[in-house]
Amino acid sequence: MSRNVIDLKVYDSRDFPAYLPKLSKLYDDLFSGGKGFRAKLIRMMASNLSLDGKVEHLLAQTIEFIHNASLLHDDLVDRSQLRRGKTAAWTKYTPEYAVLAGDYLLARVMVNLSSHGNIRLVQYTAQVIGDLLEGEWLQDSVVGDFFVTLEQLDRIHNLKTASLFKWCIRAPFIAQERYNEDLHQTLEEMGTLLGQLFQRSDDLLDYDVRNDEGKAILGDLKSGYLNSFGAYLCKGKSRQEIDQIVKSYDLESFYENLGGKNEFDQKLLEFDEMNKNLIRMYDHHLERLKTHLKPGEEKLIDHLRPLTEILYWRRKP
Amino acid sequence: MGDLITLSKGSKDFDSYLLGTFAPDKRALPLQTLNVNSSAETVTFKIVPVSEIGRPSFLQIGAQVLKIRSLLLVLVPLFLMVTKNIADSTLMDPLSTMLATFGVLLAFLAVNVRNDYLDHMLGVDRVLEESGSRAIQKGWVTAARLKSISSVLLILSLLCALPLVLTYNSLAGVIAMGLVIGLWAQFKRKNSFKYRIGGELALFVMLGPLLTVGYQLAMGAPFDGESVWIGCVWGWLTLFVVHLRNFRNIFTSSQAGFNNTVNWLGFDKTRRLLAMWWLVFLAINLGYHLYFAGFYWGFYLSIVLSAPTLMFISKLKNISSPIGSELYEVYKMGTYLFLLTIGMWVFECVWYLFL
């Protein structure tokens, strides 16, 4: 299969046993939504690195399977009723089926990758799945903790969110058996920064900042989870003030408890400024990446550069 | 944001950027580290002109670099030993006592500063973001300068020790043992010795019995069992604080591969360890008072500490995350117990001396 005819439809019900009740229906629901951003990232990496079409498909499928498995588990852990505007799998099909369906996807990832034969890719993928689980575990352990700090949340997000971004940009190089240590460290740093920026931007949606997707307002806070922007806003506040802030029932009362809309806007400016430094750091690592690319691969830099705009500022590509 | 540069451990410039010797008018402030504690470590530095670095007063920098607050760890056992010898009328040589006090303080400051330097070179301070004085990270001082300050302080402390050893020959063995442990710590290049199980034992010996017995001999007083007891009680209490701090950092230090008792035991067992460690401390403190001091003081101390002890154990029992704010609350409560104990001891000593 040549790479220019590759179809990035990563899920096909025929790849899974038809005799298992509800499995196909559950996966149909699961894979029918979502932007497939990670698969697109793989496609972009693959096209710039001239990756074989089959490998590109394998990688795109792998990342989407892992991501969707994590969503199945995540919704159950968080007791979220909705996923992509539809009833979450654990409520529609029972929690047991949701867990098993997630596990099945992860098992399929391992089968597919080991068939490909690159043991380093299998090893790295297993490590990323481990990181995801650790992140999920840790995140659950801080639910209801409204005094958690941004630094502590960053550590969780590095495991939970950034690990998949790191995989997307490292796996194509590993698949090509390019194992240079400095190259992978550079990619690791970039993935960490992308994950952090994406998570912070996603957390801003909760406060209706750049919320073009129409995400539920104060959803995290009402679920007992103080996200990264919430932690930033609460930094330096007394326990009594934080207690008051987290009891806010809507955005207006949130502004009021925080000290006014102006205070909120000022903090948002500072938060953005802090994240601009992360973007500068990402650009710095992009320059490092240049030195590891082969002739003809330079366009990868041009494609990776706008990712921070898309992920943090939520600008359309 | 200033210029950024990323260097890996294999780079020839790596050490000079960490040491701060790469340019006289610039500082390299570490921003991001990967694979710390391994040969594949990379550090991204922000390069900032020295003139752009905001500095507090010289005194503030000095207090922070020398970590004056941590002097409590040696001042308390020294105070206990002086009180004991005054009360027993065995303080024979006030001059040598003053010299020994000065020497111990200088040696402790030297170790403190050296510790900051080593933590920076080994990457420990980049993993544990609240460790050390943070003076290097803020650009107030270079690692190379800290190394020099530490060496000067160490030489001064050895100069203090010299006349003491000549006067009290038995002190030589104690100082030699301290130097051996210090050298071992210095040459444990792969990992800061504090973050090893053996390092914890070394800390117990150095801040505990070795310190109290050495100080006892330096005062011209004879070796006795009580000095060893005081040293053991203090060493045990010091390790309580060390375990408490390691527990607070369990997530980050485990990820970085540090081997200490807390990481070895894991989150759940460490909760039990801390509770047991504190209860054993209460028992040996009571035992000490039973054999060597006023039993009533041991009794009163235990009564006063019992309520906060219950609160501490309750907080330990309820903690559910290795990363959230509950962990900090446990740390604060444990530190409060530590400080309360010291306060009670000081009160007890004043009572022995003046009442």
Q: Which domains can be identified in chain A, with CATH numbers?
A: 8-117 (1.10.600.10), 162-317 (no CATH)
Neighbours of A279 (CB within 10 A): 20
For residue A142, which residues of chain B lie inside 8 Å, CB to CB?
A: 321, 323-324
Share of chain B above pLDDT 70, in %: 95
Question: Distance, in angstroms, between B320 CA and closest chain A CA?
Answer: 6
pLDDT of residue B37: 65
CA dist B268 → A20, A143, B272, B273, B316 (Å): 39, 19, 7, 9, 10
* Three-class secondary structure assignment of chain A: CCHHHCCCCCCCHHHCCCCCCCHHHHHHHHHHCCCCHHHHHHHHHHHHHCCCHHHHHHHHHHHHHHHHHHHHHHHHHHCCCEECCEECHHHHHCHHHHHHHHHHHHHHHHHHHHHHCCHHHHHHHHHHHHHHHHHHHHHHHCCCCCCCCHHHHHHHHHHHCHHHHHHHHHHHHHHCCCCCHHHHHHHHHHHHHHHHHHHHHHHHHCCCCCCCCCCCCCHHHHCCCCCHHHHHHHCCCCHHHHHHHHCCCCHHHHHHHHCCHHHHHHHHHHHHHHHHHHHHHHHHHHHHHHCCCCCCCCHHHHHHCCHHHHHCCCCCC
Q: Which residues of B touch A151 (CB under 8 A)?
A: 129
Residue of A nearest to B255 (CA): A155
Whether residue A221 contacts residue A246, with contact meaning beta carbons closer than 8 Å, is answered with yes
**Any B CB within 8 A of A160 CB:** no
Report the C-alpha gap between A247 and A225 in whole angstroms: 12
**Assigned token pair, A130:** 């481990």
User: What's residue A1's pLDDT?
Assistant: 40
Distance in angstroms (rounded) separating the CA atoms of residues B164 and B202: 23
B160: number of CA atoms within 13 Å, CB side?
22
Amino acid identity of B167? T
Dihedrals phi, psi of A128, to nearest 5 degrees: -65, -40
Give the position of tokens 């575990």.
A137
What mean pLDDT value characterizes chain B?
A: 89
Chain A's closest residue to B1, CA to CA, is: A277
| pLDDT recorded at residue B191 | 55
What does each of the 317 residues of chain A score in pLDDT, given as a tens digit?
A: 444 434 567 888 888 888 888 998 999 888 887 788 899 999 999 999 999 999 999 999 999 999 999 999 989 988 888 887 788 899 999 999 999 999 999 999 999 999 998 999 999 999 999 999 999 999 999 988 999 999 889 989 999 999 999 999 999 999 999 999 889 999 999 999 999 999 999 999 999 999 887 788 998 898 888 999 999 999 999 999 999 999 998 999 999 999 999 999 999 999 999 999 999 999 999 999 999 999 999 999 999 999 999 999 998 77
Residue that wins the pLDDT comparison between B156 and B135: B156
pLDDT number for residue B125 = 81
Confirm or reject contact between A138 and chain B (CB < 8 A): yes
With CB atoms and an 8 Å threshold, state whether A277 touches B323.
no
Contacts of B129 in chain A (CB under 8 A): 151
pLDDT in tens, B55-65: 888 888 888 88
Rounded to whole angstroms, the Cα distance separating B31 from A192 reads: 13
- A/B interface, count of CB pairs below 8 Å: 61
Using one digit for the tens of pLDDT, what is the confidence trace for B7-53? 888 888 998 999 999 898 999 998 878 777 667 778 889 999 998 88
pLDDT level of residue B186 (50, 70, 90 thresholds): low
Residue B190 — very low, low, confident or very high, per pLDDT cuts 50/70/90?
low
| The predicted structure's pLDDT at residue A313 | 94
> Does A147 contact chain B (CB < 8 Å)?
yes
- Which pair of tokens denotes residue B326? 């509950």
The pLDDT of residue B194 is above 90: no
pLDDT digit string (tens) for B223-278?
999 999 999 999 999 999 999 999 999 998 888 888 889 999 999 999 999 999 99
Shortest CA distance to B248 belongs to which of B324, B194, B317?
B324
Asked if B42 and A182 come within 8 Å (Cβ–Cβ), the reply is yes
Alpha-carbon gap: A160 to the closest alpha carbon of chain B (Å): 14
Integer Rg of chain B from CA:
22
Q: Which of B31, B34, B321 sits opposite A142 (nearest CB)?
A: B321
- In this prediction, residue B256 carries a pLDDT of 80
Q: Which residues contact B340 (CB under 8 A, 6 or more apart)?
A: B304, B305, B308
CA neighbours within 13 Å on the CB side: how many for B79? 17
* B208–chain A nearest CA distance, Å: 34
Q: Using a pLDDT cut of 90, give the percent of chain B over it.
A: 55
Which of the residue ranges B53-62, B97-106, B148-157 would you say has the lowest mean pLDDT?
B53-62
The DSSP secondary-structure symbol of B165 reads H
pLDDT at B211 over 90: yes
In this predicted structure, the answer to whether residue B189 has a pLDDT above a threshold of 60 is no
Q: How far is CA B308 from CA A135, B21, B242, B311, B340, in A?
A: 34, 48, 19, 5, 9
Chain B: residue whose CA lies nearest to A226: B324
Q: The complex's ipTM?
A: 0.83
Distance from CA of B318 to the nearest CA of A (A): 12
